[in-house]
Amino acid sequence: MLLVIDIGTSAFKSALYSFGGDCLAAASVPLSVISCEGRHEADPAQWLRAFAECCARLGPLEKVEALVVSGNGPTLTPVTGEPACGAGGLRLEAAAARLWLDRRAGEEAAAVSSVMGAFVDSGFFIPKALEIKNREPELYEKTRVFLSCPEYLACALTGEARTVFPAEGFDRWYWNRQVLEKLALDPKKFPPFIVPGDVIGTLLPQAAVFFGFSKPVPLIAGGPDFFAAILGSGAVRPGDACDRAGSSEGINVCTEKRIGDPRLMSYGHPVKPWWNLSGIISTTGKAVDWMMTVLALEPGAQDEFFALAAEAPPGARGLVFLPYLAGERAPIWDPEARGVFMGLGLETGRAELARAVVEGICFAIRDVIAVMEEAGAPVRNLRVGGGPAASGFLNQLKADISGREVLVPAAPDVELMGLTALGAAALGKYASTAEAASALIRIGRVYHPDEKKTARYERLFVGYRELYRSLKNYFAVF
């Protein structure tokens, strides 16, 4: 039995899985984000509290052979203390974590890009660490190590600080000694690299006893959440694409070879010898949450929101939405970009606003797919995962706008299923992660594009792209 954990932006998800792929129990705890004027932070202590709550809800853990942990990113946590576990629970002192949404390190990103010789977005690790050094020197000096959110939990449980380097090709988004020296960053604050599937360490004896494990079991690195999702969606052949939906959205297509395009990220696939081509969209689920608030819908009422969107006709009566509510990553990489409604009229109502937001999200996905194919990576299908994958309306709209079949895995929580495959292979239950994925992952439902709607949306997509291009120069002004 495996205990698999994925730390999202809005939820801490966990489950017990058998090595045959059966979910034996699951538990999820909501997480909070502190957002103000471009700052997007989280209290790392909530991840430890969520872990304790999930363990209590999952039941007896004596048969767990290992933990596998992934999480959102790039999120940077300045760890200032040492792990401890006692009557008060699990503790590891740290300052507020800078979430992947955080954009305050713009100047530092420019400096890092110059050193790297290639563009590095302000949301990535090194710009954030450099921003802390430049603007919060006391915190920088107090920081023992910088960790991502799953690495923080792993350190609290095992006492070992490690950085999970996902795969070949990620060099630009991480660091090396030469880069750290040029930026005058202390290399001792940046832990050594390991890769997904490696053992970070074993649980501290006191932690194993406190949480009810039979012994100090190993904790296996799952890497970033998107890495686990690619594997858990079954996107393991060239042309298969994983659409991992949550607060943000990652489109990852399996390719035969590495493809270089500055609008996208290319790196090793979880299954060798393939490569992965990736485009990350910053605010998709966040855009839905925002519009639900605007429309005075209750938090968590996504079904009501999608039902409202379905009341409006395709095209939302001429209303187009750019979902750039916190800048945008792929394919435009524009931190100054902002959300836009174009085509508001007296006929615009709640349903049109809701549908335009959902269509805008799907157009952003279509934009990434278009760039992938321009770069030479055909996209054969979309395998969706995450909470939004439960919406039939959204899945059909993705099929209609993308022109691709949308496949919904039978176990839609693709991060947790991917972690199960990764952990099972690491423990020798399968010969490889590819074999584990083939044995464990099944497709539950397929959505086929409506050809007439796809043709109409193709024309609207041209307008969607042109809207950003026409407004690009205005975003920096306002």
Q: Is 374 left (phi over 0), alpha (psi -120 to 50) or beta?
A: alpha
Question: Mean of the per-residue pLDDT values for the chain?
Answer: 96
Task: Report how far residue 353's alpha carbon sits from residue 338's, in angstroms, rounded to the nearest whole number.
Answer: 17
330-380 tens-digit pLDDT: 999 999 999 999 999 999 999 999 999 999 999 999 999 999 999 999 999
Q: Measured between alpha carbons, how far is residue 174 from residues 9, 112, 120, 130, 179 in Å?
A: 21, 11, 10, 13, 9
CATH code 3.30.420.40 for 2-216: yes
- Among residues 3, 4, 1, the alpha carbon closest in space to that of 416 is found at 4
The amino acid at 22 = D
Specify the pLDDT at position 458: 97
Is the pLDDT at 396 greater than 90? The verdict is yes
Point out which residues pair with 306 in neighbouring strands.
none
Looking at residue 223, its pLDDT comes to 93
Task: List pLDDT tens digits, range 153-180.
Answer: 999 999 999 999 999 999 988 999 999 9
pLDDT at position 137 is 98
Asked whether residue 478 carries a pLDDT value surpassing 80, the answer given is no
d(Cα 471, Cα 468) in Å, to the nearest integer?
5
What DSSP string describes 360-422? HHHHHHHHHHHHHHHTT----EEEEESGGGG-HHHHHHHHHHH-SEEEEESS--HHHHHHHHH
Fold match between 2-216 and 234-478?
Answer: yes
Mean pLDDT of 140-162: 98
Q: What pLDDT is recorded for position 36? A: 86
CATH code: domain 234-478 is 3.30.420.40
Is the pLDDT at 38 greater than 90, yes or no? no
pLDDT of residue 83: 97
Per cent of the chain over pLDDT 90 is: 93
Domain ranges of the chain: 2-216, 234-478
Q: Which of 134, 112, 140 is nearest to 124 (CA)?
A: 112
Residues 6+ apart with CB under 8 A from 78: 94, 95, 97, 132, 139, 140, 142, 143, 146
Number of other CB atoms surrounding residue 132 within 10 Å: 23
Q: Assign 107 to helix, strand or coil.
A: helix
Q: Quick one: average pLDDT of 189-218?
A: 97
Q: List C-alpha distances in Å: 314 to 73, 370, 444, 464.
A: 34, 21, 26, 14
| Confidence at residue 103, expressed as pLDDT on a 0 to 100 scale | 86
Q: Which two tokens stand for residue 414?
A: 């693709």
Single out the residue of 272, 269, 154 nearest to residue 220, CA to CA: 154
pLDDT at 477: 82
Of 171, 212, 163, which is closest to residue 190 (Cα–Cα)? 163
Residues 211-246 pLDDT 10s: 999 999 999 999 999 999 999 999 999 999 999 998
> For residue 17, what is the enclosing H or E element?
strand 11-17
Contact 275, 237 (CB under 8 A): no
Predicted pLDDT at 476: 81
- 183: nearest Cα among 120, 138, 123: 120
Look at residue 90 in the predicted model and tell me its pLDDT: 96
According to the model, what pLDDT value does residue 186 have? 98
